[in-house]
Amino acid sequence: MRHPGDPPYGRVMEIRPATDADVDRLIAAAEPASQHHLRERWATQQRGDGLFLLALSDGEVVGHTMLFSESKYAEVRAAHDVAEINALHAYVQGKGIGTAIIGAAEAIAGDWRKPAIGLAVGADNPGARRLYDRLGYQLWNGVQVVDTWTEKDAEGNVIRSHADPCDYLLKPLA
């Protein structure tokens, strides 16, 4: 029988901002094309423009996201003062990792006194869209956003540029 104060069922996850040592370890284990993105996320945290959040279970990274202190999309910034979840990645689906990361991001955004939190999701990611819908995110009333990003090799050379149309979802935090 469970009692108040018992840990949750399953593994207990820690969600926290990345450290220098975490980033070094992640880069060492990553494919060359992913190394640049990890460095960019770390640089964003170092500038104070957001937090590179890690989910850890038994001391191992099991997921991560970038939490920006404001939207990367000009059209969203013009209409809303939101924190923004970007590039949510749970290493294993269906284990509550993404939900835990989102919950932590929402709590941090609340600490930042943001009235809402947002994120972009592509039509090619229906599983993520179902998760966001379940967690109370709703389609915003603005235009569809275009997520532009580049794939780079470990040295930072552009391999491919992307321009992905996405639905933008918002969740009030008040």
One pLDDT digit (tens) per residue for the chain, 174 residues: 444 544 444 557 999 999 999 999 999 999 887 888 899 999 999 999 999 999 999 999 999 999 999 999 999 999 999 999 999 999 998 999 999 999 999 999 999 999 999 999 999 999 999 999 999 999 999 999 999 988 887 778 898 899 999 999 999 997
pTM of the model: 0.89
For residue 141, the 8-state DSSP code is S
Give me the pLDDT at residue 157, please.
86
Give me the pLDDT at residue 11, please.
52
User: Which residues share a beta bridge with 89?
Assistant: 64
Give me the pLDDT at residue 28, please.
95
CA distances from 165 to 115, 116, 143, 158 (A): 25, 22, 10, 20
Instruction: Output the six-digit token pair for 4.
Output: 């108040």
Burial class, 140, CB count within 10 angstroms (exposed 0-12 / middle 13-18 / buried 19+): buried
CB 70 within 8 A of CB 77: yes
Domains observed in the chain? 13-172 (3.40.630.30)
Give me the pLDDT at residue 9, please.
42
Give me the pLDDT at residue 7, please.
45
Give me the pLDDT at residue 107, please.
97
